[in-house]
């Protein structure tokens, strides 16, 4: 019972002895208004006959408690999503930094206008949880690769990080062999062991059919036209290469000595490598499996102690043929 200024009793629908004269001291999410409510002996808000919460003097509850039915809707992580809708009510400032999902409005971000944010589109997007623009299971605030390809989007019901995406939201190929780590059964393949198969493992090995030919055995001095004896040596090599059913590729590399200008030596090495390559093709080696290049004087053979310069130069002038077969 309460009394007005004339001393008359005013009944407000509260049973004597069943009320606690405690009140709630809370901030409304919408307008931060300080509101205190009369509670019953169960600690629940008391309503008037008009179904409105009874307000009382500013006496805080112990412990404080919010009442949705009285219009008290908190937002304890201050992400812009009311607690009763928030599926991630304890976001940190970092998690909120790139915005959170909201079913009613575009995702809210403290640094963006709502209209600039990406609206939720997937079943894995939860209201009040950090935005994950590329849908790989790593929220934008911790994603170093926020534009991961669509094939790595996670799906319900698991909605966990995609197995091919690392903790920073990136798809990694540690050995740079073209096969991403999650599919690579040989994640440490060295460059010299390539190409690789679909599982990232080497498919080739250098065959014993490889050989290094002294330039003098193939060409006259300063020439790039194969001599007869040179053709015979290459014919024998071609026959051995073609006998291997697992042939993958053949590389022909020309080298010169350091005498003369670099540009001239480079050109000569290229011509000699091509002459050898063309001859091997004429003997039946598939052209799509053979390549040639010249390296001029860039990869000289080390001169041995006491070795005559003429002899050293002769060893530097060479054509190397390497064949590779599937393992």
pLDDT digit string, tens, across residues 35-91: 678 888 888 888 998 888 888 876 655 556 677 788 788 888 988 888 888 999 999
Q: What percent of the chain shows pLDDT beyond 90?
A: 41
With the C-alpha atoms ordered 176, 182, 187, 192, is the resulting torsion angle positive or negative?
Answer: negative
Q: Which fold has domain 206-326?
A: 60s Ribosomal Protein L30; Chain: A; (3.30.1330)
For helices 228-242 and 262-282, angle between their N-to-C axes, nearest 10 degrees: 60
pLDDT digits (tens, 9 = 90+) for 214-259: 999 999 989 999 999 999 999 999 998 888 777 878 999 999 999 9
* Phi and psi based region of residue 128 (left: phi greater than 0; alpha: psi -120 to 50; beta: remaining): left
Note the pLDDT of residue 117. Answer: 52
Sign of CA dihedral 94, 98, 101, 105: positive
Cα-trace Rg, the chain: 40
**DSSP state at residue 130:** B
CA distance 127 to 60: 31
What pLDDT score does 2 carry?
34
Longest Cα–Cα distance of the chain, Å, equals: 133
Evaluate if residue 263 carries a pLDDT over 90: yes
CB 302, CB 288: distance < 8 Å: no
Domain assignments of the chain as residue spans, ordered by start? 1-74, 87-171, 206-326
Structure token digits, residue 233: 């040596």
pTM: 0.44
| Per-residue model confidence as pLDDT tens digits over 11-24 | 333 333 334 433 33
Mean pLDDT, range 166-190, rounded to an integer: 90
Contact by Cβ (8 Å): 120, 103:
yes
Q: Which of 161, 165, 158, 88 is nearest to 130 (CA)?
A: 88
pLDDT greater than 70 at residue 31: no
- What is the per-residue pLDDT for 120? 57
- CA dist 106 and 111 (Å) reads 13
Residue 5 has pLDDT above 70, yes or no: no
What is the per-residue pLDDT for 85? 86
Q: In terms of DSSP bridges, do strands 211-214 and 318-326 run parallel, antiparallel, or are they unpaired?
A: antiparallel
Mean pLDDT of the chain: 80
């Amino acid at each position: 019972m309460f009394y007005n200024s004339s001393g008359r009793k005013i009944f407000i629908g509260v049973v004597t002895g069943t009320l606690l004269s405690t009140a709630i001291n809370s901030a409304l999410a919408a307008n931060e208004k300080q509101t205190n409510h009369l509670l019953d002996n169960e600690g629940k808000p008391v309503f008037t006959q008009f179904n409105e919460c009874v307000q009382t003097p500013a006496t805080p509850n112990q412990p404080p408690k919010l009442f949705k039915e009285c219009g008290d809707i908190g937002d304890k992580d201050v992400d812009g999503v009311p607690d009763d809708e928030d599926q991630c009510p304890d976001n940190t400032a970092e998690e909120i930094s790139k915005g959170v999902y909201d079913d009613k409005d575009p995702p809210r971000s403290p640094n963006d206008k709502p209209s600039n944010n990406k609206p939720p589109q997937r079943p894995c997007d939860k209201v009040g949880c950090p935005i994950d623009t590329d849908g790989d299971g790593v929220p934008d605030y911790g994603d170093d690769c926020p534009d991961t390809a669509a094939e790595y989007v996670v799906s319900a019901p698991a909605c966990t990080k995609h197995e091919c995406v690392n903790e920073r939201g990136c798809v990694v190929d540690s050995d740079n062999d073209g096969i991403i780590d999650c599919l690579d059964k040989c994640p440490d393949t060295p460059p010299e062991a390539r190409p690789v198969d679909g599982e990232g493992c080497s498919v080739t090995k250098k065959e014993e059919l490889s050989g290094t030919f002294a330039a003098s055995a193939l060409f006259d001095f300063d020439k790039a036209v194969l001599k007869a004896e040179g053709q015979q040596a290459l014919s024998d090599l071609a026959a051995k290469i073609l006998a291997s059913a697992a042939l993958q590729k053949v590389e022909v590399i020309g080298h010169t000595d350091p005498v003369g200008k670099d540009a001239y030596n480079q050109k000569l090495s290229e011509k000699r490598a091509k002459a050898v390559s063309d001859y091997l093709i004429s003997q039946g080696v598939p052209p799509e499996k053979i390549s040639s290049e010249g390296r001029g004087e860039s990869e000289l053979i080390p001169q041995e102690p006491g070795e005559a310069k003429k002899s050293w130069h002769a060893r530097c002038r060479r054509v190397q043929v390497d064949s590779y077969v599937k393992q």
